[in-house]
Amino acid sequence: MKNLVLLLTILFLFTVAHAHAQQPSPDPASATADSVLRGMETGYNTGDFQKISVFYADQGKVVGRGVEISGREAMLKYWKDICALGGTWKLSNEKTEKIGAAIWQRGVSLITAKDGKQHKVSFTLVLIQEGGMWKILQDAYW
């Protein structure tokens, strides 16, 4: 009986180790996009709209549903107004591709405002290197 328990334990550990070894590690483009998304979520969830705007390139744009925002001051105002909804923000990374020197990312944004109302949109980001950091050149949502 002891041998059977030992054998089953070894088999279980081998199976777990093998399954873990088979999991692909995230590609660098996905890891970069995820890092930007998590930083933006943190900014929103702590009410720090200025932190969100830092993720945009100097020439960054937000485009969607009758909105076209560009320029640092307009970006700050846009995110200040969005953060006024309060609540929580969750961003998902559905697909990421490295295209030349840029990263293209598609995802879903879900803001659950402090009043409980949910605001859900799909979006794409184009990320570029600027000042040694990955920044959003275009944020398009629908």
Rounded CA-CA distance 12/18 in Å is: 10
- What share of residues in the chain are helix, strand, coil (percent, to 5)? 40, 40, 20
Share of the chain above pLDDT 70, in %: 82
Share of the chain above pLDDT 90, in %: 81
Answer whether residue 13 is part of any domain.
no
- CATH number, domain with residue 51: 3.10.450.50
Rounded CA-CA distance 141/124 in Å is: 6
Answer whether residue 79 is part of any domain.
yes
- For the segment 30-50, what is each residue's pLDDT rounded down to a tens digit? 999 999 999 999 999 999 999
- For the segment 9-26, what is each residue's pLDDT rounded down to a tens digit? 454 444 545 454 455 556
Give the residue, 11 or 116, on which the prediction is more confident. 116
What total of structural domains would you count in the chain? 1
Annotate 24-76 with DSSP letters as a single string: PPPPHHHHHHHHHHHHHHHHHHTT-HHHHHTTEEEEEEEEETTEEEESHHHHH
Name the token pair of 114: 């402090």
